[in-house]
Amino acid sequence: MIGLRTLRAVAMTAATLGGLSGALVGLLSEQGRRARVAIGVLEHLWPAPDGVYRDDGSDPLRLAVLGDSMAVGVGVTHPSQMPGVLLAQALAEEAERPVRLSTYAISGSTTRDLVPQVDAAVLGAPQVALIIIGANDVTSRIGVRESASLLGEQVRKLCALGCGVVVGTCPDLGIVRPIPQPLRSVGHHYSLRLAAAQTAEVRRVGGVPVSLANLLAPEFMARHVDMFSSDRFHPSAVGYEAAAGVLLAPLCQVAGLWPGWVAPPLPLRSAAALAVRASRVPPWLQRRHA
């Protein structure tokens, strides 16, 4: 989801935007340091298993995967568990034709890093694209408006080629338990604001947004041990399978496989957000981050 080196930036974002006291800034910075210590280090970082799935010699559907570590699949224990692989296999089954998977996502990427990813992807003329991005924008102190606008530009570029684009919006950083309170509330607040802005912008330019926070946060909170990998930060194979489950239908829609599918209406705030009592959210967290 987000780079461990940038946890401290969440605290500094709150400081610069909220005018916090020196004592509170110090507290948040110290919590970021402790979170980096608490979060483990993954032993396996697998290369993307790109290629043709269900190859029968016919022309494959071209699927491009772009974004950050969640798009890559950091946290799995075998390449077959990566979200791109799961979705390529599922699309091939639904389409009853081969699917060529091309992964351009890079762990640690922000929305600014999407530009070279998309430039590389368009050379392969993808027909369907999946983008998962946003968590690193929160920790890198990229403003919500700038982040959403950058995302919209890249989605528009892909759509102009006739590519169907699905965007998994920023996950809820408030569910990462090794990040203590109130630092976790800062990340929670900004990630939900960014997800809402991404949703509006992606729809405006012709893509299909999928709210990962709304759809996945309750399950991740209820099954924390199962859904997170050994670093307690990135999803596990079970977590990625859940993510692939909510991304498959919109991918089938933009690929023309399920033309009648319509995304269900969703609230802008996740169930995790609604569970936070107002008394636990400091007033400065409500200030606009743009």
Among residues 231, 236, 270, 289, which one is catalytic? 231
Active site residue 234: yes
Distance (Å, rounded) from C-alpha 207 to C-alpha 148?
Answer: 13
Q: What is the DSSP letter of 70?
A: H
Distance (Å, rounded) from C-alpha 158 to C-alpha 152?
Answer: 10
Among 110, 90, 208, CA closest to 159: 208
CA 153 to each of CA 55, 86, 196, 202, 273: distance values in angstroms, whole numbers, following the listed order: 33, 27, 17, 9, 29
Among residues 188, 189, 234, 289, which one is catalytic? 234
Give the ranges where the chain is alpha helix by DSSP (H): 7-18, 22-38, 69-72, 83-95, 114-122, 135-139, 144-160, 183-205, 212-222, 224-227, 237-254, 271-274
Q: Rounded to the nearest 10 degrees, how much is the dihedral formed by the CA atoms of 82, 6, 201, 114?
A: -60
Among 256, 236, 249, CA closest to 210: 249
Q: N- to C-terminal Cα distance for the chain?
A: 21
**Chain center to CA of 20:** 29
The residue type at 2:
I
Active site residue 231: yes
Positions marked active-site: 69, 231, 234
